[in-house]
Structure 1
């Protein structure tokens, strides 16, 4: 190492207070934040008096690889997947709590990059970072967890409200994240950098959640584990069958086919995870909000069908294939 090359700092080189002093300036606050980072808890004002809450965790080696994702990518994705859950209830995110569990030999540069990416993603949608927690971990372990809080003006949209006769609609993209991941796994990421970028930093249609609720959506969720698997959750909760038509998904498939092939494109659309678009059901006479498109119908029965054939496999599950 050159005498003039700066020594890279590790987490082990700083106290917890020192680290927080470098992270806090990278994170946004909001007018709803009465008490922010630095005290025992945060205090957030809520006009509705009710608070939505959700949490997601990302683990290195399981949810991302350093070869593909930067610290900023991880921070941005952590925001996306949590705020998408709030949107799926028809709500508006109001604050984030962030936990970092890390090997003390983790480079400080990575942590600050993560905080910067998380802060920029939160700031872009006017969501405050309220605080969180830090913990050391065994060698090689690195984990980021975010808890999102939110509020809504009215009742939430649940998974259990779909009715026979409803239409099924999607806001956002389908299959882009899965196609990007497939290209990375095949060493072909450079062939479609837009798909790779989407996998590393999904772009959920957050604003569409409250709009769908106001329009009268009967059921809704965030597409985190794949269209088929997540649709099955609405079907089970509502006691109905969600019937998809590949003709209605053809535009999504054709956007991906030049990069991954026709068959893989269809599977990416049907089963690809980490898209974080929104899937909802609406009454047949309800005008869909701008940005939503019909992809199927709610019919009698149970489970999920594609062109009349039952589908139950595919999509992401943490513990079973």
Structure 2
């Protein structure tokens, strides 16, 4: 086991109480540059554009992560990355995070400290001008994280899902299918003889060192490509959180168009989620910015929202209500 798993030793949150726990966490978090940071009832952040984008996302032990497969630092990273990608998908630059944690009473304080370390390293790597400006602590039978992220449009119009037009180029930035391949391998090889998630089994099988497993634990969304896409005239954009097919269907429905795929993509690239890349449409004469690459074109609305050639592609992917039954939580 790696060193981060030492986080499961030492005094618990119940032993120390909220004030001491909060002090240990806050000192590890990236501060950013708010007008007024943590310590009062609200933070004060600037909005130079006069507008800001805001998004929120939850991560719950069981459907969203497993301690058997992820360290607390991994979970901190992932909680940040999944929210920053939503900000980028609007064409904005991330500026602030508010993080709420609910942990069982017996959770070692070091787990929360390691989680905070994951937040810090993720912000440093993905959005170094961003910071944590506030949050909350509570207790729950299930470890739960809620992150709210803010972003600055810097004078640009937000890039929404409803702007795609026939003739636009369909493009993607970031990996497709890596996180889903990693999760598939963990469910196949990272389990014990009873079918329960097992870090030891993941290590023994080699799954623990798989680059796809690393992407499942710590997605690397192309944050900088969001503002670049906005500057290049992107007509529509969204974060690929639940899988290319289901998210493409969302964009097509919002825009009233059909998306026609030209790239040959396997099932896991189409329907696997949690890569947190960006899907965008651009005018046909645009030079694609950053890491964007063409995968198709926007067509007039037909019977299907997503097609490959003339073949309809099911717009399905991750659905927490349809795909999660709590059996392995």
Q: State the TM-score, normalized to the length of structure 1.
A: 0.89
Query: Helix, strand or coil: the match of 1:320?
Result: helix
Distance 1:319 1:7 in 2: 34
Query: Helix, strand or coil: the match of 2:172?
Result: strand
Distance 2:88 2:9 in 1: 43
Name 1:236's counterpart in structure 2: 253
Task: Summarize deviations over 1:147-192 as a string: whole Å, max 9, x none.
Answer: 0011112110000000000110011111000000011111165256
Name 1:205's counterpart in structure 2: 222
In the TM superposition, residue 7 of structure 1 has moved relative to its aligned partner by 7.0
Distance 1:202 1:123 in 2: 14
**Matches of residues 1-321 of structure 1 in structure 2 within 5 Å?**
8-31=10-33, 33-124=34-125, 125-126=127-128, 127-138=130-141, 141-153=142-154, 154-187=156-189, 190-191=206-207, 193-247=210-264, 249=265, 266-302=266-302, 303-321=305-323
| Mean Cα deviation higher: 218-227 or 117-126 | 117-126
In the TM superposition, residue 313 of structure 1 has moved relative to its aligned partner by 4.4
Q: State the TM-score, normalized to the length of structure 2.
A: 0.87
In the TM superposition, residue 28 of structure 1 has moved relative to its aligned partner by 1.0
Aligned length: 296
Aligned partners of 1:122 and 1:129 also within 8 Å: no
Distance 2:23 2:35 in 1: 20
Query: Helix, strand or coil: the match of 1:160?
Result: helix
Aligned partners of 1:246 and 1:307 also within 8 Å: no
Distance 2:9 2:153 in 1: 48
Name structure 1 gaps, 5 residues minimum: 1-5, 250-265
| Mean Cα deviation higher: 173-182 or 6-15 | 6-15
Distance 1:308 1:114 in 2: 47
Task: Summarize deviations over 1:36-61 as a string: whole Å, max 9, x none.
Answer: 11110000112111111000000001
In the TM superposition, residue 73 of structure 1 has moved relative to its aligned partner by 0.5
Query: Helix, strand or coil: the match of 2:54?
Result: strand
- CA spacing shift, 1:313–1:279, aligned 2, 3 Å: closer
Name structure 2 gaps, 5 residues minimum: 1-7, 191-201, 324-329
- CA spacing shift, 1:243–1:52, aligned 2, 3 Å: same
Aligned partners of 2:167 and 2:299 also within 8 Å: yes
In the TM superposition, residue 291 of structure 1 has moved relative to its aligned partner by 1.3
In the TM superposition, residue 110 of structure 1 has moved relative to its aligned partner by 1.2
Query: Helix, strand or coil: the match of 1:234?
Result: helix
| Mean Cα deviation higher: 75-84 or 184-193 | 184-193
Query: Helix, strand or coil: the match of 1:30?
Result: coil
- CA spacing shift, 1:7–1:234, aligned 2, 3 Å: closer
